[in-house]
């Protein structure tokens, strides 16, 4: 037996969670929301709409967009987004460790019985 | 901003969580899976099927069924089920407290900014 969980920030609806985190992580690597969305099998329009909704709920812009230019434009995460993502990473890791510990405390004996 | 989470036990699929807990809690009060299912707007056949699946995944019977008799039959939780539900209650409460604490630690300042 194991424990499974989902966790997300809420501000009048889902404001951040694992999905958005993964999307932004890919934007960080590719500097492109187009590529990030494509890698996740997501339509660009859906990814763009998601970012807009999250920005509204979080209250700050997640991406800086450059249109055209020599490099052909692209999307970049901002320093504040980077800081927010780091916070989320630590939050997410601590939640995982904590839930596993509480699970073992209350259901460890069930697991042992099933071995 | 607030934190939202879902948590469940898994053993080759969902083995226990808030939904099953609520269903069993209602069986405990009514001594009837029929009534418990009805109160939750669930078809009896679905509730019965759910209990069967959970029992298989957990590895022990959750309900004792009495058919007919003077009282007209019914379903009762067993002492082991009661113990398991108490474990789950404590587990669930501690997870909630812990996640809230970790959330405040990493996102407390974000909340304050939004006030």
The answer to whether B112 faces chain A, any CB pair under 8 Å, is no
The answer to whether A114 faces chain B, any CB pair under 8 Å, is yes
The answer to whether A112 faces chain B, any CB pair under 8 Å, is no
Contacts with B104 from chain A: Cβ below 8 Å:
none
Q: At what angle do helices A18-30 and A44-58 cross, to 10 degrees?
A: 110
Residues of chain A numbered 47-86 and touching chain B (CB < 8 Å): 58-59, 84
pLDDT tens, residue by residue, A21-64: 999 999 999 999 999 999 999 999 999 999 999 999 999 999 99
Nearest to B114 among A5, A59, A105 (CB): A59
Give the contacts of B91 (CB within 8 A, at least 6 positions apart). A102, A103, A105, A106, A107
Give one DSSP letter per residue of B55-91, joined into a string.
Answer: HHHHTS--EEEE-STTTT-EEEE-HHHHHHHHHHHHH
Nearest CA in chain A to B93: A102
Cβ proximity of B107 and B114 under 8 Å: no
pLDDT tens, residue by residue, B80-115: 999 999 999 999 999 999 999 999 999 987 555 444
> Does residue A115 register a pLDDT over 50?
no
pLDDT tens, residue by residue, A55-109: 999 999 999 987 766 656 689 999 999 999 999 999 999 999 999 999 999 998 7
Distance, CA of B44 to CA of B50 (rounded, Å): 10
Interface confidence, given as ipTM, is: 0.85
**pTM of the model as a whole:** 0.85
Q: With CA atoms as reference, report the closest residue to A99 among B85, B21, B5.
A: B5
pLDDT tens, residue by residue, B18-61: 999 999 999 999 999 999 999 999 999 999 999 999 999 999 99
The answer to whether A104 faces chain B, any CB pair under 8 Å, is no
């Amino acid at each position: 037996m194991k424990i499974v969980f989902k966790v997300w920030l809420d501000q009048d609806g889902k404001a951040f969670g694992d999905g958005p985190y993964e999307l932004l992580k890919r934007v960080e690597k590719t500097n492109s929301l187009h590529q990030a969305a494509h890698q996740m099998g997501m339509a660009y329009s859906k990814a763009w709409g998601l970012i807009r909704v999250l920005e509204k709920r979080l209250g700050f812009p997640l991406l800086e967009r450059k249109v055209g230019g020599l490099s052909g434009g692209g999307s970049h995460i901002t320093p504040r987004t980077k800081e927010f993502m780091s916070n989320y990473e630590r939050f997410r890791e601590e939640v995982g460790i904590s839930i596993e510990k509480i699970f073992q405390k209350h259901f460890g004996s069930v697991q042992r019985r099933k071995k």
